[in-house]
Amino acid sequence: MAFMPPSLQAVLNQSPSSAVLLALIIVPSLVGLFKLPNLIEQNLFRPHWLIPRREFHTLVTSAFLHADLPHLLFNAFTFWAFAFQLERAIGTTKFLLLYVFGLAASDAATWFKHRANPGYRSLGASGAIGAVLFAAILYFPAMSLFILPIPVPIPAPLFAVGYLAYSAWASRQARGRINHDAHLAGALAGLFFVLLADPQVALRAVQAWLP
């Protein structure tokens, strides 16, 4: 099944939260990157300082800002490619629960790993988007998508593996504010969410991948 962009009617009627979330991912990030850099600095997630400085708002606000344009484009494309179709399939309420669960899981994992590091800080919707991606490949195990300039469709599971491989590599290289560690936590959260909410979906996906 090749990915097809949703129609405007589908976006408005069947994927409203995906449209709103995509706008919230893109617009504040562009404003912070090109107009108001203080917006980014004021909303960085700093695990070490979360409780002492009561920066609890950054658990959410940091997920709607990005450290640079490639980071934003990477996350926005991944969300666009999988979120709209997933919301249409599982409904808006369940989709929002998945998104929040992925965000919470990535925040918790980031806090636990970096809570003793006063200099660590991060941005990005990577955890929540990772949850969406990995839930989607369970619901649509035969899904594929096109990424220019690659001339052939890429199976969604292969894209997901590449997504995690890139995240693991980037996490080791990272010196900036991108929370690559959140990708793994979000991916696991997405898988766990589907196992809890729709265990038969996970079983069908495994059966579809077996020879």
The pLDDT, as a whole number, for residue 176 is 58
CA distances (Å), 72 to each of 13, 19, 26, in order? 26, 16, 7
Residue pair 183/130 in contact by the 8 Å Cβ criterion = yes
- As a whole number of angstroms, the distance between CA 8 and CA 15 comes to 10
The pLDDT, as a whole number, for residue 25 is 95
The pLDDT, as a whole number, for residue 103 is 96
Residue type, 137: I
Sequence-ordered alpha helix ranges (H) in 62-155:
69-90, 92-114, 126-139
The pLDDT, as a whole number, for residue 2 is 47
- As a whole number of angstroms, the distance between CA 57 and CA 134 comes to 26
- As a whole number of angstroms, the distance between CA 23 and CA 184 comes to 24
Residue pair 184/164 in contact by the 8 Å Cβ criterion = yes
Residue pair 50/59 in contact by the 8 Å Cβ criterion = yes
Q: Tokens representing 135? A: 């839930």
Residues recorded for the chain: 211
Q: Which CATH architecture has domain 8-209?
A: Up-down Bundle (1.20)
The pLDDT, as a whole number, for residue 1 is 45
Q: Profile the chain (211 residues) by mean pLDDT over runs of 10 residues.
A: 51 84 96 94 94 95 91 89 93 96 94 91 88 93 77 81 77 66 86 94 86 70
At 178, is the secondary structure helix, strand, or coil?
strand
Neighbours of 151 (CB within 10 A): 6
The pLDDT, as a whole number, for residue 115 is 93
Q: Tokens representing 39? A: 């917006």
- As a whole number of angstroms, the distance between CA 112 and CA 124 comes to 17
Residue type, 101: F
